[in-house]
A and B are shown apart, each in its own frame.
Chain A
């Protein structure tokens, strides 16, 4: 079993839809959870960072962590064409190293 598994997509939604992006992980020592957005030919940009179970909201983005199920999600409300990108989950363990999911390509259609 891979340490971090991410829904591969691609995902295509109409503008204004609610988007759900998901990752599961296997190592219960993982403690810190991040979501990055990566536009084509660019570096990843940090969207959300959390370390506790529950929800964290920032504008149209909500990060959800369920440590008991080892499951993390990113929700995007009122999705816009500018949200079209690859979304990467990343999880930090006790050794300070990040383990990344393979990314989900999202397209929001006007």
Chain B
């Protein structure tokens, strides 16, 4: 089945540690996105990529980094500079502008 796979489902980070969240899609979509969802806050855009080897900062990029070396993959690294990383992280993809985004089932990140 075509879709977006995020892993792991749950992740724990120690102080000072970088962690990487995986996002893979087999929808042949050009654009991919990372959002953060906090209770009562809605979804906020972290980074997005409209094409391989190119990506842009979203509204809350500080403390995060991404890469887009393959069309189907868009990993997100939460660095130790992100002081409040506990949240639900959602990856999405779309076939381009003016097309709706489709989401994975998220990764819940917590601090040990």
Which residues of A approach B to under 8 Å, CB–CB? Answer: 32, 34, 36, 41-46, 49, 51, 88, 90, 92, 96-98, 100-103
Listed from nearest, the 8 A-B pairs whose CB atoms lie closest are A43-B103, A102-B42, A96-B97, A100-B43, A100-B42, A43-B105, A49-B100, A44-B103
Per the bound structure, the CA–CA distance linking A50 and B105 in Å amounts to 24
20 more CB-based (< 8 A) A-B contacts, given A41-B108, A43-B105, A92-B98: A32-B98, A42-B105, A43-B4, A43-B90, A43-B103, A43-B106, A44-B43, A44-B90, A44-B103, A46-B100, A46-B101, A46-B102, A90-B43, A90-B101, A96-B31, A96-B98, A98-B45, A98-B101, A101-B42, A102-B41
**Does A97 lie within 8 Å of B45, measured CB to CB?**
yes
Give chain B nearest CB distance to A43 CB in angstroms: 4
- The answer to whether B2 has its CB under 8 Å from any CB of chain A is no
Contacts of B32-78 to chain A: CB distance below 8 A? 40-43, 45, 48, 50, 58
| B40 touches which of A43, A88, A102 (Cβ 8 Å) | A102
Inter-chain contact B100/A45, CB cutoff 8 Å: no
CB distance from B44 to the nearest CB of A (A): 8
Evaluate contact between B42 and A103: CB separation under 8 angstroms.
yes
- Give the distance to chain B from A102, nearest Cβ to Cβ, in Å: 4
B9 smallest CB distance to A (angstroms): 9
CA distance A28 to B108 in the complex (A): 35
Note all chain A residues with C-beta closer than 8 A to B4. 43
CB A63 to nearest CB in B, in angstroms, measures: 12
Complex CA gap A98/B98 in Å reads 10
